[in-house]
């Protein structure tokens, strides 16, 4: 009887493991099961502050669109119970750290997506590494995510400071903007942007006359703007590395002080379609910048943008499209792996080559988990050229991904 009872207990235990997904198919296994019976996608971002418009709650909607499209493509997939959850990290790394742990542990998120603000992104990447759960970062720019702070559970998706600097900084310097004054937000992203732009400008034969850190977030840039014409030599351009609401405030004040009339131009390190829409094309007319994706680039992009607008009422920024793509490619990796086990899905993502609505000629580098894809040099149109609301950009050139992003042999990543 003891033998029979022991066998029965073992059978019940094995059954429980299969039903809960904690056996071979649970985290760390990779045996073809979905843990907990469903896949949970967590979106962690700024839903109430300076980055809410460019990503925020509408990135949650983009992820939900990816889930719907995945289910439509794979109606008979075992990966059919998919949940999307979200949280607001308020652009604070300590809050991001706590929210990430909560999403992974209490809400059983298999992956965390988005996470703007580089300091917050680095905090989440650390939690992902500790928990052995996946994080695909779409909205932070720091190269540290695929550099010295890289780990095998964190992927960087969409853009980084190297891509922005060697698109915009190098191009404008070669076009004649030889002397620069850089104003950057004083946290990881801004510091990285200052470093990357300085390198790109110097490589192109230019000079950074001065660079100053500014508080983040900030609504008053007068101290920096009024200083610019008095510098020696006087800068050809102010390179602003702010984004979202901070960028809108800086540009508004730049125009109020009429610095263009004093011979000091404006170069924008990072800009989104939502920034242009918020302040109007007149404020940015003629500004050249690097864009990771544009909604009206071709029919494929426009068709998806039409669907997005029907759900949200706005045209998508490249972060909205990036979150859609990241969620879709993650689900496809789960489908290929036959499990949501982090190790197995990461193996499916690393080295994967694909084309979708966001990434053209996309490849996730196995050496550092960086998505390399084509990006674009864009110019803000004059108001007289705008024939449709939200169609504010002229794409000047396509920059191949291998040129836009840093070389793999230069990466500081030591995957662990």
Per-run averaged pLDDT (10 residues), the chain, 416 residues? 40 34 35 79 96 96 98 92 97 97 97 96 97 98 95 96 93 94 95 96 97 96 97 97 94 95 94 95 92 98 98 98 98 96 97 98 97 96 95 94 91 84
Rounded to whole angstroms, how far apart are CA atoms 102 and 104?
5
Rounded to whole angstroms, how far apart are CA atoms 50 and 90?
9
* Claim to verify: residue 144 and residue 166 sit in the same structural domain: no
Rounded to whole angstroms, how far apart are CA atoms 312 and 32?
36
Rounded to whole angstroms, how far apart are CA atoms 125 and 152?
10
Q: What is the pLDDT of residue 297?
A: 97
Rounded to whole angstroms, how far apart are CA atoms 34 and 13?
18
Residues 6+ apart with CB under 8 A from 70: 77, 79, 82, 328, 331, 332, 335
Residue 28: inside a domain, yes or no?
A: no
Q: What is the pLDDT of residue 37?
A: 84
* Claim to verify: residue 212 and residue 270 sit in the same structural domain: yes
* Claim to verify: residue 148 and residue 173 sit in the same structural domain: no
* Claim to verify: residue 282 and residue 393 sit in the same structural domain: yes
Q: What is the pLDDT of residue 141?
A: 95
User: How many domains in the chain?
Assistant: 2
User: Which range of residues forms the domain containing residue 176?
Assistant: 162-291+376-404
Residue 11: inside a domain, yes or no?
A: no
Closest alpha carbon to 209 in 191, 221, 190, 224: 224
Q: What is the pLDDT of residue 144?
A: 95
Alpha-carbon distances of 64 from 59, 69, 83, rounded to whole Å: 9, 9, 9
Phi then psi for residue 396, to 5 deg, are -85, -40
Q: What is the pLDDT of residue 65?
A: 98
* Claim to verify: residue 221 and residue 264 sit in the same structural domain: yes
* Claim to verify: residue 166 and residue 287 sit in the same structural domain: yes
This prediction's pTM: 0.89
Residue 25: inside a domain, yes or no?
A: no
What length does the chain have? Answer: 416
* Claim to verify: residue 191 and residue 250 sit in the same structural domain: yes
Residue 14: inside a domain, yes or no?
A: no
Q: What is the CATH number of the domain that holds 52?
A: 3.40.50.2300
- Two structure tokens written together for 52: 């809410």
For the chain, percent helix, then strand, then coil, each to nearest 5?
A: 45, 20, 35
Q: Are 197 and 182 in contact (CB under 8 A)?
A: yes
């Amino acid at each position: 009887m003891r033998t029979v009872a022991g066998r029965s207990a073992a059978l019940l235990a094995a059954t429980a493991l299969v039903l809960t997904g904690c056996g071979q198919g649970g985290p760390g296994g990779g045996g073809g099961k979905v843990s907990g019976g469903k896949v949970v996608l967590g979106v962690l971002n700024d839903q109430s502050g300076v980055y809410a418009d460019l990503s925020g709650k509408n990135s949650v909607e983009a992820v939900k669109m990816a889930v719907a499209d995945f289910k439509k493509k794979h109606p008979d997939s075992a990966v059919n119970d998919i949940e999307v959850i979200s949280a607001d990290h308020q652009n604070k790394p300590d809050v991001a750290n706590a929210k990430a742990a909560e999403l992974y542990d209490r809400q059983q998120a298999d992956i965390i997506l988005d996470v703007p603000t580089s300091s917050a992104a680095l905090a989440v990447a650390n939690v992902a590494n500790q928990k052995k759960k996946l994080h695909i970062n779409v909205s932070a720019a720091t190269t540290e995510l695929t550099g010295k702070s890289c780990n095998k559970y964190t992927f960087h998706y969409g853009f980084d400071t190297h891509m922005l600097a060697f698109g915009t900084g190098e191009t404008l310097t070669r076009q004649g903007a030889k002397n620069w004054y850089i104003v950057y937000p004083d946290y990881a992203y801004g510091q990285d942007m200052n470093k990357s732009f300085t390198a790109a400008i110097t490589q192109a034969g230019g000079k950074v006359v001065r660079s100053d850190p500014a508080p983040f977030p900030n609504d008053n840039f007068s101290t920096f703007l009024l200083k610019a014409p008095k510098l020696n030599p006087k800068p050809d351009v102010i390179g602003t590395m702010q984004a979202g609401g901070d960028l809108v405030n800086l540009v508004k004040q730049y125009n109020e002080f009429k610095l263009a009339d004093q011979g000091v131009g404006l170069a924008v390190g990072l800009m989104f379609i939502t920034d242009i829409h918020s302040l109007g094309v007149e404020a940015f007319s003629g500004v050249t910048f690097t864009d990771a994706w544009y909604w009206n680039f071709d029919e494929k992009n426009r068709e998806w943008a039409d669907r997005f607008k029907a759900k949200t009422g706005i045209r998508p920024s490249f972060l909205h499209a990036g979150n859609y793509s990241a969620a879709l490619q993650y689900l496809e990796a789960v489908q290929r792996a036959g499990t949501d086990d982090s190790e197995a899905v990461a193996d499916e993502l690393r080295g994967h080559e694909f084309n979708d609505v966001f990434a053209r000629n996309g490849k996730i580098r196995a050496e550092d988990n960086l998505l390399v894809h084509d990006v674009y040099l864009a110019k803000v149109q004059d108001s007289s050229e705008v024939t449709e609301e939200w169609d504010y950009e002229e794409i000047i050139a396509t920059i191949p991904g291998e040129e836009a992003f840093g070389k793999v042999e230069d990466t500081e990543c030591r995957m662990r």
